[in-house]
């Protein structure tokens, strides 16, 4: 028994350290996601009032999809925000590990993730299962509510001060508004002719008069070559 005691102590210590930290991060991330839901509903309500004042007719819909997803439909777009249920850290080369903030306490590098996707409304409405949605940003949050964002355009460079930035209502609203602007600016382009000049029999049989072929805002284009890189 004495031979196994040091090993068991190592296991118990790791469980106490890592499990405890990950539980704290999970709880914090869940709380932040509730904040995201609340503020996205506020954005919906504000947009509804503004559009009503200008007599603009378009679909505007807020949908709470459960504990880990919330959607906002505006015009032909849907912004999907989801919370991953697992907790992550980063490889040794990541910029987080170079900060004094993380060097002082490596557990600060453990983060929960909120992901933001852009889908076409018709993709969901008509159940076009082969259609493409695009990841436009990821929010990383640690146990102390410090955060940074990976994303496209302003989402990729305005929110990267992990050492000093703590997420709050104001920053959540700015992130969500930036994501909505990106979705609106991210137009649906017709794919190159040579990428769509053939149709299989199964595709033909699936067509129902509403266009059942695979659709995405950049389908057939090199998405990574765009100016708004991650």
The domain segmentation of the chain, as residue ranges, is 5-187
| Burial letters 26-63, b for 16+ CB under 10 A, else e | bebbbebbebbbebbeebbeebeeeeeeeeeeeeeebe
Q: Which residues contact 96 (CB under 8 A, 6 or more apart)?
A: 90, 102, 109, 162
Q: What is the pLDDT along the chain (230 residues), one digit of tens a residue?
A: 455 568 888 888 888 788 999 999 999 999 999 999 999 999 999 999 999 999 888 899 999 999 999 999 999 999 999 999 999 999 999 999 999 999 999 999 999 999 999 999 988 888 878 788 889 999 999 999 999 999 977 787 788 899 999 999 999 999 999 999 999 987 665 556 565 566 666 665 666 555 455 565 554 444 443 445 45
Report helix, strand or coil for 152: coil
How far is the C-alpha of 66 from the C-alpha of 150, rounded, in Å? 24
Given a contact cutoff of 8 angstroms between Cβ atoms, the answer to whether 106 and 18 are in contact is no
How far is the C-alpha of 128 from the C-alpha of 109, rounded, in Å? 38
Claim: this prediction has a pTM higher than 0.75 = yes
Q: Which residues contact 225 (CB under 8 A, 6 or more apart)?
A: none
Of the candidates 83, 70, 82, 66, which has an alpha carbon nearest to the alpha carbon of residue 44? 70
């Amino acid at each position: 028994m004495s031979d196994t005691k040091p090993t068991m102590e190592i296991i118990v210590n790791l469980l106490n350290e890592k499990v405890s930290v990950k539980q704290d991060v999970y709880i914090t991330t869940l709380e932040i996601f509730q904040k995201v839901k609340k503020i996205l509903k506020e954005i919906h309500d504000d947009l509804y009032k503004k559009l009503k004042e200008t007599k603009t007719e378009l679909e505007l819909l807020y949908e709470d999809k459960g504990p880990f997803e919330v959607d906002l439909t505006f015009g032909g777009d849907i912004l999907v925000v989801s919370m991953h249920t697992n907790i992550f850290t980063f490889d040794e080369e990541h910029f987080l590990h170079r900060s004094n903030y993380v060097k002082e306490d490596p557990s600060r590098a453990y983060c929960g993730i909120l992901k933001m996707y852009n889908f076409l409304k018709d993709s969901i409405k008509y159940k076009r299962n082969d259609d493409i949605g695009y990841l436009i940003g990821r929010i990383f949050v640690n146990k102390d509510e410090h955060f940074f964002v990976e994303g496209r355009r302003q989402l990729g460079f305005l929110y990267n001060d992990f050492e000093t930035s703590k997420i709050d209502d104001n920053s959540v609203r700015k992130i969500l508004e930036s994501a909505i602007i990106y979705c609106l600016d991210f137009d649906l382009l017709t794919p190159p002719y040579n990428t769509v000049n053939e149709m299989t029999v199964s595709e033909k049989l699936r067509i129902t008069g509403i266009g059942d072929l695979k659709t995405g805002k950049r389908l057939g284009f090199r998405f990574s070559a765009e100016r708004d890189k991650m």
